[in-house]
Homo-oligomer: A and B are copies of this chain.
């Protein structure tokens, strides 16, 4: 009954207890934050600046959006590009791994369209 027995040690999610659901838990770990999937969905339409994302994702605070983008960047899903301009601008775009999330995000969105209404 040792919890380590069938645990995937190469899994990014530290709460992945059993190998059976490791893929799922890893994906969930990356999209753990409330707004992460929505941000990914926004960026699937193309690169955006901070303000554009903030506008598209109505309801998120600047602080949290910043943290969310940081986490997504650390996870290798989002890439930051600082544009040397005045005023200061930063562009966020999905990496290949990020774009690869499209089927999952799409599937979730479609489910919501079908079942998520009262």
Contacts and interface: CB of A to CB of B under 8 A. Distances in A.
B23 A113 contact: yes
A65 interface: no
Interface stretch (A12-20, A66-74, A84-92): A12-20
Nearest to A97: B115
A110 B58 contact: no
Interface residues of A, number: 50
Binding site of A, secondary structure by majority: helix, strand, loop or mixed? helix
Nearest to A7: B58
Nearest to A10: B117
B3 A24 contact: no
A46 B31 CA distance: 26
A42 B24 CA distance: 11
Contact of A3 (B59, B115, B117): B59
A6 to B, nearest CB: 8
Given A11-B118, A103-B107, A112 B41 contact: no
Interface of A: 3, 8, 10-13, 15, 17-18, 20-31, 34, 37-38, 41-42, 56-59, 76, 97, 100-101, 103-118
